[in-house]
Chains A and B, each alone.
Chain A
């Protein structure tokens, strides 16, 4: 696994703390497991710090995290930069009135939901998840936010699987990642 910026010594430790699990959730998939990163207190802190350093002076008022691993990285970033945290969830989890965005899976579709009123038109948002694969989930998150008039400034993930070309599904939105897994 290669670190994106060879000049930052923190990245090597972050990259090596991620565990690869073969054949999960099905044969042929090499699953990038961030739970081992969360067990390395320095690597976890460095991960958050690297995002915070990038976003703290960018007038971002919303950090939207994709359920469930986006809930682990999003809130610490939101707290450090003084932004709201907005959870984007699977259907029927959020209790209040929601808007939904459907997106494609390999087989079939899924839906992502956000509470009505969580964000306001004109806000500047970050979308966070642990990993970008095909980009379908992040693309749905961007759509949800844009539908209510929010400007998505960037998508941020710990890991990218570049061969799946997820970056191309984000339209004109930039993507920032810490490690690339080939």
Chain B
């Protein structure tokens, strides 16, 4: 696993805290497990700090986190930069009126939902998830935000799987990551 360029000294410890679990959820997949990162308070804090240092003072009014692991990293960032936190969820979890965006999976499709009224036109948004693979989920998240008139400033993930070229599915929006895994 390598880090992105201009490596901050905190990143090396963050990398070592991520556990790779082979053959999950199915054979051949090397699953990047961030739960072990969360067991190291310093590494978890450093992870959040790296994002906060990048986004504080940039007028970001919304942090949108993708269920469920985006709920772990998004709120601490939102709290530190003074932004709203907006959960983007699987179907039928959000209780109020929602808008939905369908996206393609390896087999079939899935849907991401957001509450109506959570985000307003002109809001500047960050999209946060633990990892970007194919980029399908992040792309759906960005579409949801843009449909209600928000500007997506950047997508931010702890881990990127660059071989899956997810970056190319973000319609030109920038992606910021802490570690790459090949």
Q: Which of B31, B48, B72, B73 has the most chain A CB atoms closer than 10 A to its own CB?
A: B72
Q: Of the candidates A48, A72, A93, A96, which one forms a contact with B87 in the assembled complex, judged by CB atoms under 8 Å apart?
A: A72
A21, B35: Cβ atoms under 8 Å? Answer: no
Min C-beta distance of A181 to chain B, whole Å: 14
Closest to A93 in B: B68
Min C-beta distance of A116 to chain B, whole Å: 11
Q: How far is the CA of A78 from the CA of B37 in the complex (A)?
A: 13
Contacts of A85 in B (CB 8 A): 38-39, 44, 72
Contacts of B48 in A (CB 8 A): 79
User: Interface size (A, Cβ < 8 Å)?
Assistant: 38
Q: Of the candidates B68, B71, B95, which one forms a contact with A31 in the assembled complex, judged by CB atoms under 8 Å apart?
A: B95
Given A25-B95, A96-B33, are A68 and B41 also a contact pair (CB < 8 Å)? Answer: no
**Chain A 1-50 interface residues, beta-carbon cutoff 8 Å to B:** 19, 21, 24-25, 31, 33, 35, 38-41, 44-45, 48
Min C-beta distance of B40 to chain A, whole Å: 8
Task: Say whether A51 faces chain B, with CB atoms less than 8 Å apart.
Answer: no
Task: Say whether A82 faces chain B, with CB atoms less than 8 Å apart.
Answer: yes
Task: Say whether B136 faces chain A, with CB atoms less than 8 Å apart.
Answer: no
B71, A68: Cβ atoms under 8 Å? Answer: yes
Min C-beta distance of B157 to chain A, whole Å: 16
Task: Say whether B146 faces chain A, with CB atoms less than 8 Å apart.
Answer: no
A86, B67: Cβ atoms under 8 Å? Answer: no
**Chain B 162-179 interface residues, beta-carbon cutoff 8 Å to A:** none
Task: Say whether B15 faces chain A, with CB atoms less than 8 Å apart.
Answer: no
Q: Of the candidates A21, A78, A94, A95, which one forms a contact with B41 in the assembled complex, judged by CB atoms under 8 Å apart?
A: A78
B39, A86: Cβ atoms under 8 Å? Answer: yes
3 nearest A-B residue pairs (beta carbon):
A71-B71, A95-B21, A24-B95
15 contacts between A and B (CB under 8 A): A19-B96, A35-B87, A35-B94, A35-B96, A35-B118, A41-B82, A68-B67, A68-B87, A71-B72, A72-B71, A72-B87, A76-B75, A79-B76, A84-B41, A85-B39
Residues of A within 8 A of B (CB): 19, 21, 24-25, 31, 33, 35, 38-41, 44-45, 48, 67-69, 71-73, 75-76, 78-79, 82-87, 89, 92-96, 115, 118
